Amino acid sequence: MAPPLAAATPGHRLSDPGPVAPQADPSILPFSVVVPLYNKAPFVLGSLGSVLAQTFGRFELLVVDDGSTDGGADLAEGLADPRVRVVRQPNAGVSAARNKAIELARGEWVVFLDADDWQHPQFLATLRATQRAYPQVDCVASRFVEFTGAGTAPPARWPVPPGPPRIELIEDLAARWMRGPTLFTGSIAVRRRVLQQLQPCFQPGESFGEDLELWFRISERTPIALVHAPLAAYRVGVADSLSDGRQPWCQPPWVDRLRRRVRARGFDPRRRRSALRLADQLGLNMAREAIAAGERGAAFALLMGARHAMAGRRWWVTAAMALCCPQGLAARILHRGPPVPAAEGVPDSRWPPPTPLIPPTAPRT
């Protein structure tokens, strides 16, 4: 097993000083990787295989099957690895599946992974090094890449920066979120005791934004150490079996809960401002989706909900689009997206072939 990289101070880079010191209690399992599963049989073995291929091997892989009907849970149970544990429950939604996994987890840190996403082989090793470099934080994460593809195929190309990655300590997640992409559900690890204090971590019955709400709740308790290397991969272009089918212009309940929480007495005023600004910007995003869908009434309602952003140009541009822009033109403008610039100094590196999954009937070597 390759030793994890050790880390430096905020804004500095991970370095490799040699083997890290053993943890205080070696009987404690460092990681529980939890995977909610619902009808992802074509992808699940690829996702689980990316975990079993980690260079840091002290973890449990906990799969909570949420009433799948496509045999995905049987595939997971067929893996001949003692670190894999499969728990089945009647269908109750992704939030209930994740909450159940947190309840059953045995690791010091809980890592989340959806059943169609991937982890880079150095993902857990790098998070472990970051945890030891920043023992005061209760949440660590990495950057991520998006990829498309069917079945168990890994990302075709995975741009990983050469050399030790830089670490950023995020004190205000809302402010950082508005500056650009940071993390997603499959690139984050949280101390289990913190999650247990926040249960239910994911709002039961919700499956849109329920994960983002949790990351903001956690960030109100602890800084987040972000590794600037894309060590997790998010699959796009696949219908989400765990989604709730909501329209993209319907404001999810967690945004209102965020506003209420940060307006409470005693909340840090600086973070309150950035959180409310983020909520307004999310409202403008949804207003634009409503315009593109021809739902102008919903767009105006969302604009009024984000009226505190009226001092900004983006609010007035969105209002002008709602008043004057034909639906077809608005859809073309809003959905074409900006060009994606090439990352400077980041060469493409081929994904290393993962460790083959051992069939249950094959002898282990």
Per-residue pLDDT tens digits of the chain, which is 365 residues long: 333 333 334 555 665 433 444 445 677 899 999 999 999 999 999 999 999 999 999 999 999 999 999 999 999 999 999 999 999 999 999 999 999 999 999 999 999 999 999 999 999 999 999 999 999 999 999 999 998 877 777 787 787 878 889 999 999 999 999 888 789 999 999 999 999 999 999 988 887 788 889 999 999 999 999 999 999 999 987 665 444 455 666 778 888 899 999 999 889 998 999 999 999 998 898 898 888 888 888 899 999 988 888 889 999 999 998 898 887 887 777 665 444 333 333 333 333 333 323 222 333 32
What pLDDT does residue 134 have? 95
pLDDT reported for residue 359: 27
Half-sphere exposure of 156 (CA within 13 A, CB side): 4
Quickly tell me which residue has 């289990």 as its tokens: 192
- Are the C-beta atoms of residues 203 and 211 closer than 8 Å to each other? no
Residue with tokens 């709740």: 217
Phi, psi (rounded to 5 degrees) for 278:
-60, -45
* pLDDT at site 17: 34
C-beta separation of 329 from 291 below 8 A = no
- Confidence at residue 94, expressed as pLDDT on a 0 to 100 scale: 92
CATH topology of domain 31-244: Spore Coat Polysaccharide Biosynthesis Protein SpsA; Chain A (3.90.550)
pLDDT at 28: 85
Backbone angles phi, psi at 200, to 5 degrees: -70, 125
DSSP letter for 358, please.
Answer: P
Give the CB-side neighbour count of residue 59, counting CA atoms within 13 A: 26
pLDDT at 205: 83
Phi–psi pair at 357, nearest 5 degrees: -70, 135
Q: Write down the pTM of the prediction.
A: 0.80
Task: Please state, in angstroms and rounded to a whole number, the distance separating the CA atoms of residues 138 and 258.
Answer: 21
pLDDT at site 126: 96
Q: Where are the domains of the chain?
A: 31-244, 253-336
With residue 34 as reference, give the H or E element that holds it: strand 31-37
Rounded Cα–Cα distance for residues 307 and 326 (Å): 23
In angstroms, rounded to a whole number, what is the distance separating the alpha carbons of residues 216 and 158? 28
| Residue for token pair 């045999």 | 71
Largest CA distance in the chain: 68
